[in-house]
Chain A
Amino acid sequence: MVKQLATEVVVIGGGIMGASTALFLRKRGIQVVVLERDLCGSRSSGVNFGGVRRQGRSLAMLPLSQRAHQHWGRLTELIGTEAEYERSGHFKIARSQADMESLVRYAEKTRDCGLDLQLLDGAALHKRFPVGGAKVVGGSFCPDDGQANPRLLSPAFATAAARAGAQVLEHTPVLEVAHNGQRFVVRTPEMEIRANVVVNAAGAWAGQFAEQCGEPVPMRIRPPAMGVTEPLPFFLHWSLGVEGGSIYCRQVRRGNVVFGGGPGLVLDDTRTRNRHTTVWAQLPQLVELLPQLKNAQLIRTWSGNEGALPDHEPIISASSRQAGLYHAFGFAGGGFQLGPGVGDVMAELIAEGRSSTPIDAFRIDRFNDPACST
């Protein structure tokens, strides 16, 4: 006996994208059901690095990133918790003059985007960033970028959506999305849900739903390579990235240093891990970057499933094939900071038919159009 449900919007995926979309839809008084295959925020949204970063994003993405930034500034108001969010600053390190020039060009290109980037080298660098190893020649500092705890934050979006009246169903995989001519019929093992609108926010698994609806996308899964040290005396306020390099790290207040960079490995559809050759490469890179870590110990590694499109930009758009269908996926590991902005934009798009923030660069059909490919 299949349970029947009817609602205005079904959101597939209870990660930060789906959950924040549901939350913002509820703020507009729209009925929504969230269908999460596992537990909300248990996938990429919950296991990522935790960087809340605008610096480094493409020009096309910065307006959306800024919109998200406004919401990060009022987290408790939005979801009832700060989830260890701090505007601790993000520092992108240059290890060569060429890298430094690249950072300078980026700062110029984005000077009107509200990042307030400060370029540091020489004496200013040593004064503001005494912790780095020998190869740091300079860097670009974004004072209001920061970090948060994704394990706490992403589930909190789902909880906030539920508190705002969304029906959030966990352990509820979506088997099929179909359209009967009038409405969508979304099938799970025990239910059929009828809705006017479907949002495909299924992360690394969104491709199958896009394909079901006639819009296959060339998405590939990239497993990140994450690790964390034991707790250490606190010494690193800034979140760090490396221009042109693959290691990134931050220190949480309790003292553990979280890091990532390089490829993990995929075991199957849902399981991923850090890769031993990557761990072998990451550890000396960490010590070289931060000599304070020389005597630290690695206590845990993990990975996740990041969906990436060929141009490394996500899909945030209405369907090109089916009215009432929307997509928000493929963030290639950079979605965490964008989450609240994406949810806000999706709700706006659904309710008003347009987004006040430019998202044209993220159309789902851009891969078919030669003019669009980067």
Chain B
Amino acid sequence: MIGSDFYLDDPRPADGPPVIVGAGPAGIRAAQTLLAHGLRPVVIDEAPKAGGQIYRRQPDGFSRSAKDLYGFEAGRASDLHQTFDRLRPQLDYRPETLVWNAQGHSLDLLHTAQRTADSLRWRDLIVATGATDRVLPLPGWTLPGVYTLGGAQVALKYQGCAIGDAVVFAGTGPLLYLVAYQYAKAGGRVLAVLDTAPAVQRYKAAPAMLAQPAVTAKGVYFLSWLMFHDVPVHHGVQLLRAEGADRVQALVWKDAQGAEQRTACSAIGLGYALRPETQLADLLGCAFAFAPLHRCYVPQIDADRRSSVPGVYLAGDGAGIMGADAAEMSGELAALALLQDRGIATDAARQAKLRQQLDKTQQFRQALEVAFPFPEDWAARAPDELVVCRCENITAGELRATAASQPQGDINRIKALCRVGMGRCQGRMCGVAATEILADTLKVPVAQIGRIRGQAPIKPLPLDMTVLPQDQEASHG
């Protein structure tokens, strides 16, 4: 070891309440489980209300029912919200709080409303940071009016708005059909649903998908409903570009027969399933590995959701996209592992059951990849003038040119040279696309490109934030 006076010295505390980061389905079930076993967790939530993205609660003063907001998931959503509300007095709940850094056994917090900062030490930590949309850009995607599928869903669920008065939904994944259905049902004008997955893929996936008949039935229902209500649904499409002067006015695409189509519209909802938010796990020092199922690097976990770092457990989509139902299960399982590791008696049969159910979800998840495959030809087709990094305005051409000089293909080096991923979003929106283009340019597997190294702050910090007085215990330098 090289000599330094600046080694991090922040050993794991001997005790302290368990800390949960994230209050979506995984975080809520984790909190519930810990409470049921006599612990009082701290729950840190970036949002003002618990629920995460999928079960995001409407602001005060809004009036829609759970059924209106969450459709078939109304029961689950209500149960989670009511559970949280009931348990809240027993929790140490910290809403509107961003975890911007992990250093040793400290989490650095920004209280976003007050713009104040402090630090929280932990002995045991459940990271349930969830997911965002997985984005593959198309020319024109930075135009006003182009939003992610998840974003389109949030606009409707959280604000009662459609992203435009005439919307095209495009990409692939089960969310594509769900959001289109929700829009049409709410009275929005849905011009078309454009799925890059060839129609035949659904049939290939069908046998495996029947392992989860209820979930599959819902997907079939959405598609049938859309078709019954004369919403054009196209499979096997290729998305070419979004057109417009100062905002989107049309989507140009190719149908399965290769004919070019132009759909005039005022908004596009775009997405290819989800990607995990792993920055906190990265800063905590968790080991990562490439997961072919997710086509990205995810933090490693054992069967009970323990990460490679003692005391850190990973629940929900933040460790790999498995869906909301799996998030509830993995939240509970992570909490049970935490309890077990603390020497508190847990129900081994329950743990076994959860593991088994999660395995089944894994199989279904694999079927979804067959039904809605990642468009592997996307990178080869991406034109040089396509803006890949929307924060820094870096094109595919610039990325390719830089890659040509870096045959070893290290994405962090390429980022340093051409600035992709160096903007405010730190690679969330461009990371997947950049990785695909690099792999395609260098003719190497996606895994070889690596992943963008996580750096604090996890999200932008205001320079004028006020640091709250720290007690001796809280700050380990």
Contact = CB atoms under 8 A, between A and B. Distances in A.
A111 interface: no
Contacts of A223: 4, 6
A219 B4 CA distance: 9
Contacts of A264: 6
B2 A205 contact: yes
Interface string A280-299: 10011011000001111111
Nearest to B118: A280
A302 interface: yes
B467 interface: yes
Interface in B1-59: 1-8
B455 A265 contact: no
A88 interface: no
B419 to A, nearest CB: 8
Contacts of B8: 265-267
Specify which of A204, A267, A283 lies most central, judged by the most chain B CB atoms within 10 Å of its CB: A283
Nearest to B1: A269
B460 A263 contact: no
A207 B4 CA distance: 12
B410 A39 contact: yes
Q: A interface, by DSSP: helix, strand, loop or mixed? A: mixed
Given A171-B408, A267-B8, A283-B463, A276 B417 contact: no
A151 B413 CA distance: 9
Given A151-B416, A297-B463, A277 B475 contact: yes
Interface in B434-477: 455-457, 460-465, 467, 475, 477
Contact of A266 (B6, B106, B108, B457): B6
A176 interface: no
Interface in A133-183: 151-152, 155, 159, 170-171
Contacts of A295: 462-464
A220 B4 contact: yes
Instruction: Please tell me the size bucket of the interface on B.
Output: 35 or more
Interface string B403-442: 0010010100100110000111010000000000000000
Given A286-B463, A298-B463, A302-B455, A221 B417 contact: no
Given A223-B6, A277-B475, A301-B455, A287 B463 contact: yes
Contact of A229 (B422, B456, B463): B463
A301 B101 CA distance: 10
A304 to B, nearest CB: 12
A266 B4 contact: yes
Contact of A301 (B2, B285, B456, B477): B456
Interface in A299-353: 299-302, 305
B103 interface: yes
Nearest to B285: A267
A219 B408 CA distance: 32
A275 B456 CA distance: 10
B148 interface: no
Interface in B252-273: none
B33 to A, nearest CB: 30
B456 A296 contact: no
Specify which of B8, B101, B119, B462 lies most central, judged by the most chain A CB atoms within 10 Å of its CB: B8
Interface in A201-229: 204-205, 207-208, 219-223, 229
A264 B6 CA distance: 7
Interface string A34-58: 0000010010001000000000000
A67 interface: no
B282 to A, nearest CB: 12
Nearest to B425: A299
B370 to A, nearest CB: 37
B117 interface: yes
Instruction: Please tell me the size bucket of the interface on A.
Output: 35 or more
Given A205-B2, A223-B4, A302-B455, A280 B463 contact: no
Given A219-B3, A266-B6, A297 B103 contact: no
Contact of B457 (A151, A263, A301): A301
Contact of A297 (B101, B405, B461): B461
Nearest to A282: B463
Contacts of A298: 457, 460-463
B2 A276 contact: no
Interface string B274-289: 0000000000010000
B108 A276 contact: yes
Contacts of B467: 280
Contact of A207 (B2, B7, B410): B2
A254 to B, nearest CB: 8
Nearest to A47: B416
A42 B477 CA distance: 27
A359 B318 CA distance: 54
B477 A275 contact: yes
A145 to B, nearest CB: 24
A230 B417 contact: no
Contacts of A170: 408
A152 B285 CA distance: 28
A295 B464 CA distance: 7
A300 B426 contact: yes
A39 B408 contact: yes
B408 A221 contact: no
A42 B410 CA distance: 11
Nearest to B9: A265
A73 B1 CA distance: 39
Contact of B103 (A207, A275, A283, A286): A275
Contacts of B465: 283
B460 A222 contact: no
Contacts of A263: 6
A302 B413 CA distance: 14
A64 B426 CA distance: 39
A277 B6 CA distance: 13
Nearest to B461: A298
B426 A299 contact: yes
A221 B464 contact: no
A277 B477 contact: yes
Contacts of B422: 300
B460 A221 contact: no
A42 B413 contact: yes
A163 B114 CA distance: 55
A297 B4 contact: no
A301 B462 CA distance: 13
Nearest to A159: B405
A200 interface: no
Nearest to A290: B463
A26 interface: no
A298 B455 CA distance: 12
A273 interface: yes
Nearest to B101: A276
A286 B464 CA distance: 9
Contacts of A283: 461, 463-465
The 8 closest A-B pairs by CB, nearest first: A221-B4, A297-B460, A151-B416, A298-B461, A280-B467, A265-B8, A266-B4, A266-B7
6 contacts: A39-B408, A263-B6, A265-B477, A267-B285, A273-B103, A298-B463
Interface of A: 39, 42, 46, 151-152, 155, 159, 170-171, 204-205, 207-208, 219-223, 229-230, 263-269, 273-277, 279-280, 283-284, 286-287, 293-302, 305
Interface of B: 1-8, 101, 103, 106, 108, 117, 119, 285, 405, 408, 410, 413, 416-417, 422-424, 426, 455-457, 460-465, 467, 475, 477
Given A275-B103, A275-B477, A305-B2, 13 more contacts: A39-B413, A155-B417, A267-B8, A274-B456, A275-B6, A287-B463, A293-B463, A294-B464, A299-B424, A300-B456, A301-B455, A301-B456, A301-B457
